[in-house]
Structure formats: C-alpha cells, structure tokens
C-alpha cells in the first residue's frame, strides 16, 4: 500500500489485516482525536481516555489476524470498540453507580460574559461541558450514551444493567437539570446557533 492517505477506511482495514503497519498509522491519524473524545465523554478523564484508545489500537495490531474480514463501516467499528473499552474501564473501577445521586452543584454558572465570537464559542463549550459533567454520574452516562453516542435506550439499559424505564427517567432528569443550568447562557446560545 504505497499511498495510505488517499486509501479508503475499508482498504486500510484490509491492509491492516495483512500486517501493513502504515495502514495502522493512517487509521490512527484519522481517528485518534475523535476516538479520544468518545472515551473522555464516558470516563471523564483525559489520560485514561487516551490510554483506552492507545490500547484499542495496540489490540488492533496484535490481533489483526482475527479482525473481521469485511468491515464496511470502520469508523463505527472503532467507535464501538472504544465505547466498550470505556464502559469496561468504568465497570472495572466500579464507577457505574447502581443508584441515583444528587447533582454536584446546582448554582448557576458564573462564567464571565466575553465579547468576541471566538470567546463566545469557547465560553459556550465550557458551559456545556460543565453542565453535563455536573449531572449525577449515572444520569450523565445515560445522557451521553443516548445523545452523543446515539445509542438506543435498549442498548444503554443492557450496557448499564438497568431497565429501559430507568433510562427514560434518567433522560428526563438530565433534560430538567440541563435546561436549568444552561438557561443563563440563553443569549449566548441564540447568538451562536442563530
């Protein structure tokens, strides 16, 4: 595989199965940042998220002869691998709560309003991160798996060993908190999203 940068994901995956290390490098360059974001959304820990993704790529290499022969949706395959590893990480550390908790802090965000568009974007991003991070852990996981990772309520229930009804309750709870916490930034939100 002389030029990996123009190869499709599926071609890279096939080359990886035959031991082409350049294909591994190219897949890493394409997806490392996105996959680290998938992991950090679940484990809330930057170094742990990067480690999970590193382990996933290491495993891709060491177990390449056992990879599926046909992988049309490589991105989805990699995201699912990272998501499963992230949930295992939480499970191994007993970080998936079995009951509800109160949010850590319900006072309104006190970030300063900042004038320029770039700073507004940055501030909005910070507000969103903080608001979601403040959700009780089980509520946060359910919400992120549903709204950011596009998992069905059934899938979430199975992964977290809870009922679909509990997933629905947690979603309602998450929306309630987020509506309250993001309300002070309504002007910022409207200006950003038009």
Partner 1 sequence: MPLDYKDIDRLVSTYREDYTPDVDQGLRQLHRRITPVRRLRPYSRRTYLMGAAAALALVVTGLLFLLGPGNQERLINQSNQPLAFDLPDGTRITLQQGSEATYDPDDYNLETRRVELRGQAFFEVHPDRDRPFLVSNGTAELRVTGTAFNLRTEDRTMEVEVSEGSVLLQRDGEAIEVSALECGLARAGQPLKHASSPNLNHHAWRTGALKFDHTPMSEVLEYFYDNWGIECTWAGGKPCNYAVSGNYQGGDAGAVLSDIAKLGGLDLTPQGSDGKHYELSGPCSL
* Residues lying near partner 1 in the complex (CB under 8 A): 19, 21, 24-25, 28-29, 32-33, 36-37, 40-41, 46, 49-51, 53-55, 57-59, 61-63, 66, 88, 92, 122, 124-126, 128-129, 132, 143-144, 147-148, 175, 178-179, 182-183, 186, 189, 193
Q: Find the length of the chain.
A: 194
Please, what is the minimum distance in Å from the beta carbon of residue 8 to partner 1?
A: 20
Cβ proximity of 169 and 111 under 8 Å? no
Cα–Cα dist 66/51, whole Å:
22
Please, what is the minimum distance in Å from the beta carbon of residue 133 to partner 1?
A: 9
Please, what is the minimum distance in Å from the beta carbon of residue 178 to partner 1?
A: 5
What is the chain's percent helix, strand, coil content, to nearest 5? 70, 0, 30
88/104 with CB nearer partner 1:
88
Torsion of CA 34, 37, 38, 41, to 10 degrees: -160
For CA atoms 174, 180, 183, 184, the dihedral sign is negative
97/184 with CB nearer partner 1:
184
Cα–Cα dist 181/131, whole Å:
6
47/115 with CB nearer partner 1:
47
Please, what is the minimum distance in Å from the beta carbon of residue 62 to partner 1?
A: 5
73/183 with CB nearer partner 1:
183
Please, what is the minimum distance in Å from the beta carbon of residue 151 to partner 1?
A: 14
Residue 21: closest CA among 37, 38, 1, 45: 1
7/41 with CB nearer partner 1:
41
């Amino acid at each position: 595989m002389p030029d990996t940068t123009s190869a499709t994901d599926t071609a890279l995956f096939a080359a990886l199965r035959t031991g082409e290390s350049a294909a591994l490098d190219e897949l890493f360059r394409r997806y490392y940042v996105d996959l680290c974001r998938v992991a950090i959304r679940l484990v809330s820990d930057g170094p742990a998220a990067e480690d999970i993704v590193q382990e996933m790529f290491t495993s891709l290499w060491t177990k390449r002869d056992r990879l599926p022969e046909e992988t049309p949706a490589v991105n989805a395959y990699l995201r699912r691998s990272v998501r499963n590893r992230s949930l295992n990480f939480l499970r191994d550390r007993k970080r998936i709560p079995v009951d509800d908790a109160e949010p850590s802090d319900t006072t309104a965000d006190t970030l300063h309003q900042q004038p320029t568009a770039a700073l507004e974007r940055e501030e909005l991003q910070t507000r969103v991160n903080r608001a979601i991070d403040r959700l009780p852990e089980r509520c946060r996981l359910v919400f992120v798996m549903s709204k950011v990772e596009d998992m069905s309520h059934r899938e979430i229930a199975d992964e977290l060993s809870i009922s679909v009804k509990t997933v629905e309750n947690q979603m309602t709870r998450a929306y309630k908190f987020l509506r309250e916490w993001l309300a002070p930034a309504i002007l910022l939100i409207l200006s950003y999203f038009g």
